A = this chain, B = another copy of it.
């Protein structure tokens, strides 16, 4: 009998001891095949656990609860999974739609919004229970629902998103979650395909797949409507076939400059934020996919679409030129900076590894094995807007 107690006791205390850790330095690596996530620590630079049963994780993205204990994973198959980073397990999981493209968490941390392709719209869930709180179909004409893209959270319990098929941007105000308020902006440009929010939560900018320029909404002055910036961008250029849609989710801002991937071109565009003028086109090795600023804004890191996706280039923001060229491996899909920018984690899908670089010396610090890794997401995202 006493051995039973002892066994239970030891087992229990083992589990409990394993959980005694801060959550500020944790993160997730998405593995595509077979679909799984690794929980990692950026302090020990090790993998802490491995979780399966999460459905299709191609193009999956992640947001975090305000205490940085729970991760919410948005799967491409419409799955929404809540992971407990301390218990190393799935806390809750639902299939909320047929085809989903990402999500966001509300300013107060209580609501999770998911943007869906099929059926087109946004669904809002309790972050506590994953119960449905609001269902916002993206209906723009009788029986017509649009794919929803570029969903971000914004200050004041708002979510902002774009309707690919309807050429619209909507502001969803959930201060009273049972009474959602929607403000719609139409004719914002053809086929918005993704969007970003400035780190301060003020400017929402949508990329336009079938139109020139970008659509800009100033959330401090929504009454002024959506205006087109960079109207000449995309006009004269002969477009290359687009191998992969660039991502606009990571707003790369450094001081007064903003960096975005040019769609269909081998260029990063540099925009001056007070005038919204294009001040430079920086040539890169391929079609840029992620264009991300180191947290201090001194460097901008760029990966590229197939067939140039073995490259990583680093722009020095001081003189707006490429200063470093790295080749981390085959199919570099994503990167994530540690919160204060000393390191960057890079996934090389077809080499089945994640690499950690020192961002000052560009030295490789460590490699971690991962099966077809794609997105990397650190828990410090819990405290940021517009992701």
Inter-chain contacts of A342 with B (CB < 8 A)? 107-108, 155, 157
Question: Are A22 and B67 neighbours in the complex by a CB distance under 8 Å?
Answer: yes
A22 to B24: give the CA distance in the assembly, Å: 8
Inter-chain contacts of A1 with B (CB < 8 A)? 2
Chain A 204-226 interface residues, beta-carbon cutoff 8 Å to B: 220-221
Inter-chain contacts of A59 with B (CB < 8 A)? none
| 0 or 1 for each of A83-95: is its CB under 8 Å from B? (1 = yes) | 0011100000000
On whether A383 and B24 interact (CB within 8 A), knowing A201-B296, A202-B298, A297-B202, the answer reads yes
Question: Are A19 and B20 neighbours in the complex by a CB distance under 8 Å?
Answer: yes
Question: Are A21 and B383 neighbours in the complex by a CB distance under 8 Å?
Answer: no
Question: Are A64 and B202 neighbours in the complex by a CB distance under 8 Å?
Answer: no
The answer to whether the Cβ of A384 comes within 8 Å of any Cβ in the partner chain is yes
Question: Are A9 and B16 neighbours in the complex by a CB distance under 8 Å?
Answer: no
Question: Are B67 and A155 neighbours in the complex by a CB distance under 8 Å?
Answer: no
Q: Which of B13, B157, B200 contacts A9 (CB 8 A)?
A: B13
Inter-chain contacts of A68 with B (CB < 8 A)? 22-25, 68
State the interface size on chain A (CB cutoff 8 A): 64
The answer to whether the Cβ of A115 comes within 8 Å of any Cβ in the partner chain is no
Q: Which residue of B lies closest to A86 (CB)?
A: B20
Inter-chain contacts of A283 with B (CB < 8 A)? none
A22 to B91: give the CA distance in the assembly, Å: 14
Question: Are B155 and A66 neighbours in the complex by a CB distance under 8 Å?
Answer: no
- The smallest beta-carbon distance between A223 and chain B, in angstroms, is 12
On whether A379 and B200 interact (CB within 8 A), knowing A5-B2, A13-B9, A339-B66, the answer reads no
Q: Which residue of B lies closest to A23 (CB)?
A: B22
The answer to whether the Cβ of A69 comes within 8 Å of any Cβ in the partner chain is yes
| 0 or 1 for each of A1-45: is its CB under 8 Å from B? (1 = yes) | 110011011001100110111111110000000000000011100
Question: Are A66 and B43 neighbours in the complex by a CB distance under 8 Å?
Answer: yes
Inter-chain contacts of A274 with B (CB < 8 A)? 255-256, 274
A6 to B12: give the CA distance in the assembly, Å: 12
The answer to whether the Cβ of A179 comes within 8 Å of any Cβ in the partner chain is no
The answer to whether the Cβ of A191 comes within 8 Å of any Cβ in the partner chain is no
Inter-chain contacts of A295 with B (CB < 8 A)? 200, 385
Question: Are A255 and B202 neighbours in the complex by a CB distance under 8 Å?
Answer: yes
Question: Are B385 and A155 neighbours in the complex by a CB distance under 8 Å?
Answer: no
On whether A86 and B220 interact (CB within 8 A), knowing A5-B2, A6-B5, A155-B340, the answer reads no
Inter-chain contacts of A66 with B (CB < 8 A)? 24-25, 42-43, 338-340
Question: Are A22 and B202 neighbours in the complex by a CB distance under 8 Å?
Answer: no
The answer to whether the Cβ of A341 comes within 8 Å of any Cβ in the partner chain is yes
Q: Which residue of B lies closest to A221 (CB)?
A: B318
Chain A 300-314 interface residues, beta-carbon cutoff 8 Å to B: none
- The smallest beta-carbon distance between A214 and chain B, in angstroms, is 18
8 A-B pairs with the lowest CB-CB distances in the bound complex, closest first: A22-B69, A24-B68, A22-B67, A16-B16, A9-B9, A339-B383, A25-B67, A2-B2
25 A-B pairs, CB-CB below 8 angstroms? A1-B2, A5-B9, A8-B9, A16-B20, A20-B20, A22-B65, A22-B86, A23-B68, A24-B64, A24-B65, A24-B67, A24-B379, A25-B68, A41-B67, A107-B341, A108-B340, A155-B340, A155-B341, A200-B255, A201-B296, A202-B255, A256-B273, A256-B274, A341-B385, A380-B382
